[in-house]
Amino acid sequence: MLMQNSFTYVDENYKRIYNCIEEAKAKYRKPDENVTFMAVTKTVAPEVVNHAIFNGIKVLGENRVQEFQSKKDFYEPAEIHFIGHLQTNKVKYIIEDMALIQSVDNLKLASEIDRHAKRVGKIQNILIEVNIGDEISKSGISPECLESLLADVSKLQNIHVKGLMTIPPAGENEKFLCKMQELYLDISSKNIDNIDMEILSMGMSGDYEKAIKYGSTLVRIGSALFGARNYK
Ligand SMILES: *Cc1c(COP(=O)(O)O)cnc(C)c1O
């Protein structure tokens, strides 16, 4: 595909998705509630990602450490979040660039992030990823173990939990979006020390309007914005 064509394509997709987000917000949410439109950049060339930024995207979602490193110098200014599976030995490569690491699901990873955050002199904001459907194939902490993980993570000095992230099961999606909202509100009501529930990251290309209905504050959009990928 020629770059010029993909720019027009991204322009059109951006406008359509932006309007759908606004409509879903107007329908389901209070006027003062914000929903962040994140662009998920995996496999997408930096020039095309930048075009999304020119359109109004302010937050990028990165899945792969190496791919991010090869692209980051070419990005226009944007807030970067890590949303993919993160190995403990790769934390050191991304710690300085990430405003938020969304995919933390175990204490070992949290402790490693804490250690590197201390080293570089920052408090690293994170989300805990929840495997809301308890699917064997997916990462994320099971809902039953969430509170105990939060209790452990809350003791770490150099990370700050800002909320929860999830990828719900493909079928019966709405049931799990609803379950996730209940879990988020339940944790929120417990007012755990050093744990904030400000961000509920859920909703992707296929379910973001529904996710907004169930309280999402950040939708992660890849293929609907940039087109189909060859790999996930
Ligand atoms: C790829 C990915 C997305 C975006 O998926 P689309 O269906 O293409 O919008 C969102 N979140 C995570 C964690 C992803 O890996």
pLDDT at 7 (0 to 100): 87
Q: How far is the CA of 220 from the centre of ligand 1 (A)?
A: 6
CB-based contacts of 21-28 (< 8 A; 24+ apart in sequence): 21/208, 21/209, 21/212, 21/219, 23/209, 24/208, 24/209, 24/212, 24/213, 25/212, 27/213, 28/212, 28/213
Q: How far is the CA of 222 from the centre of ligand 1 (A)?
A: 5
Q: CB under 6 Å to ligand 1: residues? A: 40, 42, 63, 83-84, 167, 204-206, 220-224
User: Tens of pLDDT along the chain (232 residues)?
Assistant: 556 678 899 999 999 999 999 999 999 999 999 999 999 999 999 999 999 999 999 999 999 999 999 999 999 999 999 999 999 999 999 999 999 999 999 999 999 999 999 999 999 999 999 999 999 999 999 999 999 999 999 999 999 999 999 999 988 889 999 999 999 999 999 999 999 999 999 999 999 999 999 999 999 999 999 998 865 4
Q: Which of 130, 131, 220, 223 to mutate to test the pocket of ligand 1 (most atoms within 8 A of CB)?
A: 220
Domains of the chain: 2-225 (3.20.20.10)
Q: How far is the CA of 7 from the centre of ligand 1 (A)?
A: 20
pLDDT at 51 (0 to 100): 95
Q: Which of 80, 83, 173, 180 to mutate to test the pocket of ligand 1 (most atoms within 8 A of CB)?
A: 83
